[in-house]
Amino acid sequence: MAEKNELQHSLRALIGESYVLTEEQDMAGYRHDGRGAAGGVPLAVVRPDSAQAISALVRWAADHDVRIVPQGGATGLVAGGVAGEGGEDVLLSLDRLTRYIEIDPVNRTATVDAGVRLSVLNAAAAEHGLFFPIDLGADPTIGGMVAANTGGARLLRYGDVRSNLMAMDMVRANADGTCLSLGGPLWKNNVGLDLKQLLVGAGGTTGIITRVTVALQRLPDARMTALVALNDPHKALPLLLDMEKALGAWLSAYEGMSQIAMIAAFAHVPGLRMPFAEIPPYAVLIELSAGGAFDESMMEDRLAAVLGPMMEGEGAPVLDVATDQHDGLWAIRHAVPEGLRAKGYVVGCDIAMRRGDVMRFRDDLADRISRDAPGFVPHDFGHIGDGGLHYNLVWDIAQGVPDFAAVEAARHIVFDAVVQDYGGSFSAEHGIGPRNIAYYRKYVPEAIQALAGRIEKNMAPVASGRVSFGLMEE
């Protein structure tokens, strides 16, 4: 590798003086991901504004044996978009790759540069009565959403990014920095291998996404949310099945919140409104949405028909119900992560399993954590309608900071259980990245790791991208 100053000088000549950052204070804003943990100081932060410039950068990286780390909106939670230690990485920020936004209202698609934020896409789509239905608490870039295959709260109805992806442009990490267009803005296209899917969820290891075409949905004309207080968490699954039977496609989200998670939210997040006299043992947040043939009063009537019988008699499973036609009840769900962080040190576990196993898992793990990881207290919430669960362990701030060994031991208890005992996933939607690579190596069969590694090497033969994930074969 050439001298640091020489490399930085050649980058400026290639990309432009103003768009290559090399001073530590200028690069500081690019060193953190969504959890706030800092990565290493890169050799440079490079901010190209076109696929052609990214292709030139990849060719430069191949010539100089320098690794590129692509970064989207820096909202990821597994350190996939931050530079490694050693000061030798070039961090490729896509924050200037934002010029192209095209909404096709007839085809119901959007084609955007990879650096366009979700909020910007939805603002443009809303002018045509459309939206991209992947709902997230953060505001990521569209390219980053593809690289992570994000899901979100409305996966139950609309699926994940993979399900809504129609086409992409990408730059291969080969010596030529080859630009490819994969797929097209077609709802039906079956001409062989769907190669664009090799970049979905790959975190940049198979190439750099530069432009994306996604399917849009009609903005609902009628929408309402209901927070249902349950006397027993185990009643959440029977209620879900009743909701799906009675409400069908109206049901767009089904989120669960444990009592202890809600207590943390209301204790630490100002401005939240508690709709009940007291925090229930468990609550589910239900969203209903539909087109112009329906209205909120029809939704309320249908919801009442499902919930009414469950509120009658002694020991009725439904304690209370609050409804809203705006986002006040969603604010409670979105406040839970902030409440947990304020309460103490959080060990975040983003897991998934069969829907029918969620409550059994909660009971099982509460016992295991209490016995084998004393001091950590489960505070769970999340997308139980699709089997997703944010099974977060909180170490109370009054106890100080837990040591690293205790944190990893607690995380292993959760991951061992969900993968080995419940046939689930240790990463439901956050991806792999440096924070999860050890678990990837532990839980994913070696034959599958080897096959994935060969695919990644073929797609990115000059070892650009985030190869320090360890997903590639040695």
Give me the CATH number covering residue 347: 3.30.70.2740
pLDDT band at 469 (very low <50, low <70, confident <90, very high): very low
pLDDT band at 474 (very low <50, low <70, confident <90, very high): very low
Whether pLDDT at 34 is above 80: no
Residue 27 is part of a domain; what is its CATH number?
A: 3.30.43.10
Residue 301 — pLDDT band, cuts 50, 70, 90? very high
105 and 214 both lie in a single domain: yes
Q: What is the pLDDT of residues 409-462, one digit of tens each?
A: 999 999 999 999 999 999 998 888 888 889 999 999 999 999 999 998 888 887
Decide if 42 is inside a domain. Answer: yes
Same domain? 213 vs 229: no
**How many domains does the chain divide into?**
4
CATH number of domain containing 161: 3.30.465.10
Region of 315 on the Ramachandran plot (φ > 0 left; ψ -120 to 50 alpha; else beta): left
Rounded CA-CA distance 83/77 in Å is 14
DSSP 452: H
SS3 189: coil
Residue 465 included in any domain: no
Handedness of CA 139, 142, 144, 146 (dihedral sign): positive
Interatomic CA distance for residues 256 and 251, integer angstroms: 14
Is 42 found in the same domain as 23? yes
Average pLDDT over residues 50-74: 92
Structural domain of residue 183, as residue ranges? 101-218
Q: Which pLDDT does position 51 carry in this prediction?
A: 97
CB 167 within 8 A of CB 184: yes
**Mean pLDDT, the chain, whole residue set:** 92
Q: Would 90 be classed as within a structural domain?
A: yes
Task: Assess contact for 333 and 284: CB atoms under 8 A.
Answer: no
- Region 375-394: mean pLDDT is 97
**Are 300 and 358 within one domain?**
no
239/203 same-domain check: no
209 strand-pairing partners: 170
Residues 348 and 319 in one domain: no
Q: In whole angstroms, what is the distance from residue 113 CA to residue 238 CA?
A: 43
Q: Which residues contact 31 (CB under 8 A, 6 or more apart)?
A: 38, 39, 40, 41, 42, 82, 83
pLDDT at residue 392 greater than cutoff 80? yes
Domain annotation covers residue 424: yes
Are both 10 and 90 inside the same structural domain?
Answer: yes
Predicted pLDDT of residue 264: 97
Residue-level pLDDT at 60: 95
